[in-house]
């Protein structure tokens, strides 16, 4: 079979390696790191440079999740009747059988506008606490195609269970993935620029549930809850007292009334034992627990796995306290829904916001959080949209705009680290003891910074420089 791999980032390069190892004829397009490209060509791949149509001998196209469906190459492939899939769909088709030729390792998959990575890494911790050889893969970092084809020293599948993070981009290019358990955490306005409409974005998320054994969602998110309500085995999670078929919170503890044999439910872990804070992280923990229950993990192991989980970088992390003011990095809050969840965790906030809003509407967010705001510092290309919303919904809140040289492309930006130092200095002037200076931008970072991690590091560096 001849496979065209379109896009040579981490997942594309991994797909090419696995396909070459199978003996497939692999054709490459798009730029790549020179060392990666040299490695793949040395292994037998053909690199053809930029393409606007697939070569005539191609049987299948594996595309990068960053490539939009209207890319000329992908449109040409569709016009020719070629199947176009993503790396996760390829991984699903190439799974290694389990012990003694049994079923491959089941997937426990998570999607949603926000909270995916936290929930998947929580789930990995819980599955491992339950004695399973488990790994987090997919959009969380490690390519699925590597994980599903990995073997241990005895030649068996290397993993018993896989905690899978999938983005809407990846799900758009998937058709046969059938996880044992699937969770749509939440669906809010995001990536409309890529999908073309909110309905198309929502439908991409819903794709994960189509063949899932059990479907999980946050009952507090109407869109996600409506998607699982149509499933044959729906489970929801709630921050309130759980009803039958739910996991929720009772008397300061996470309680399972969906999988427990007891009508009253079973206590999984005390909320005080969780090392990640905020209502949104409690929802993430409940969702991870629900998927772990699908995998057969008992309550004690769920409690152990959740209580030892410490969270990831740039996700509501306290980076310092200066003169009684806390500085919190939630650079991963790259859309209004995520920023709202972050802001809700603090009573009085100096909010650092702005970047690339990707077509999102910020009015509902600003109206909801206005009473918490002690001040706002704006940066990034779409800062004026935020400024107009603040003028409508929080006119009395002081705000500062920091020019960031972002009106051109990334190459025109002078110095993101310098910009962040100015942003933090402005936030200090607005804050008083007891406040939280919160970097929760509600926007993507690539107008000023390399990525959200660079933005978060620049924030932490600027805070440390305060002394």
Helices (H), ranges, 219-311: 222-229, 279-294, 299-307
Q: Check whether 111 is labelled as a binding-site residue.
A: no
What is the enclosing helix (H) or strand (E) of 131? none
How far, rounded to the nearest angstrom, does the alpha carbon of residue 148 sit from its chain's CA centroid? Answer: 20
Other CB atoms within a 10 A radius of the CB of residue 354 amount to 30
> Could you tell me the end-to-end alpha-carbon distance of the chain, in angstroms, rounded to an integer?
60
- Residue whose entry in the numeric block shows the structure tokens 């995520």: 338
Q: Which of 248, 17, 270 is nearest to 150 (CA)?
A: 17
| CB contact at 8 A, 355 and 448 | yes
Give CA separation, 219 vs 159, 222, 231, 239, 247, in Å.
31, 7, 14, 9, 10
How far, rounded to the nearest angstrom, does the alpha carbon of residue 164 sit from its chain's CA centroid? Answer: 11
Q: Could you give the CA distance from residue 196 to residue 65 in angstroms, rounded to a whole number?
A: 15
Q: Check whether 221 is labelled as a binding-site residue.
A: no
**Size of the chain, expressed as the number of residues it contains:** 467
Eight-state DSSP code of residue 412: G
Q: Could you give the CA distance from residue 110 to residue 119 in angstroms, rounded to a whole number?
A: 7
Q: Could you give the CA distance from residue 224 to residue 45 in angstroms, rounded to a whole number?
A: 41
Q: Check whether 112 is labelled as a binding-site residue.
A: yes
Q: Could you give the CA distance from residue 17 to residue 39 in angstroms, rounded to a whole number?
A: 9
Q: Which of 250, 311, 272 is nearest to 121 (CA)?
A: 311
Q: Could you give the CA distance from residue 269 to residue 279 in angstroms, rounded to a whole number?
A: 15
Give CA separation, 229 vs 78, 209, 294, in Å.
33, 11, 18
| CB contact at 8 A, 448 and 378 | no
Annotated binding site: 112-118
Annotated binding site for ATP: 112-118
């Amino acid at each position: 079979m001849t496979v065209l791999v379109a896009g040579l980032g981490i997942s594309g390069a991994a797909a090419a390696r696995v396909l070459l190892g199978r003996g497939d004829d692999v054709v490459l397009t798009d730029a790549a790191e020179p060392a990666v490209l040299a490695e793949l060509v040395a292994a037998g791949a053909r690199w053809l440079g930029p393409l606007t149509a697939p070569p005539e001998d191609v049987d299948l196209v594996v595309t990068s999740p960053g490539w939009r469906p209207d890319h000329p190459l992908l449109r040409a492939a569709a016009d020719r009747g070629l199947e176009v899939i993503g790396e996760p769909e390829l991984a699903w088709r190439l799974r290694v059988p389990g012990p003694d030729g049994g079923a491959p390792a089941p997937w426990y998959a998570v999607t949603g506008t926000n909270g995916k990575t936290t929930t998947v890494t929580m789930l990995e911790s819980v599955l491992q606490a339950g004695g399973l050889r488990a790994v987090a893969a997919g959009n969380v970092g490690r390519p699925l195609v590597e994980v599903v084809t990995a073997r241990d020293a005895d030649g068996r599948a290397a993993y018993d269970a896989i905690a899978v993070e999938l983005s809407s981009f990846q799900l758009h290019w998937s058709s046969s993935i059938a996880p044992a358990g699937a969770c749509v955490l939440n669906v809010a306005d995001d990536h409309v620029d890529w999908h073309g409409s909110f309905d198309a974005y929502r439908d991409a998320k819903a794709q994960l549930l189509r063949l899932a054994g059990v479907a999980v969602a946050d009952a507090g998110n109407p869109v996600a809850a409506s998607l699982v309500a149509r499933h044959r085995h729906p489970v929801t999670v709630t921050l309130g007292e759980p009803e039958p078929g739910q996991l929720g919170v009772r008397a300061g503890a996470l309680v399972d009334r969906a999988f427990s044999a007891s009508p009253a439910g079973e206590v999984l872990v005390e909320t005080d034992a969780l090392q990640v804070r905020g209502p949104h992280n409690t929802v993430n923990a409940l969702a991870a627990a629900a998927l772990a229950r699908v995998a057969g993990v008992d309550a004690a192991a769920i409690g152990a796995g959740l209580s030892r989980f410490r969270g990831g970088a740039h996700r509501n992390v306290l980076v310092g306290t200066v003169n009684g003011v806390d500085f919190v990095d939630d650079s991963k809050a790259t859309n209004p829904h995520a920023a709202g969840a972050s802001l809700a965790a603090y009573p009085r906030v100096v909010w650092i916001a702005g970047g690339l809003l990707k077509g999102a509407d910020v009015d509902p967010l600003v109206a909801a959080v206005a009473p918490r705001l002690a001040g706002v510092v704006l940066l990034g290309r779409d800062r004026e949209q935020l400024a107009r919303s603040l003028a409508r919904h929080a006119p009395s809140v002081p705000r500062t705009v920091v020019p960031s040289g972002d009106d051109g492309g990334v190459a025109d930006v002078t110095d993101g680290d310098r910009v962040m130092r100015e942003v933090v200095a402005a936030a200090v002037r607005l804050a008083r003891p007891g406040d939280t200076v919160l970097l929760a931008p509600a926007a993507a970072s690539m107008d000023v910074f390399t990525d959200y991690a660079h933005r978060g590091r620049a924030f932490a560096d600027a805070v440390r420089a305060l002394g």
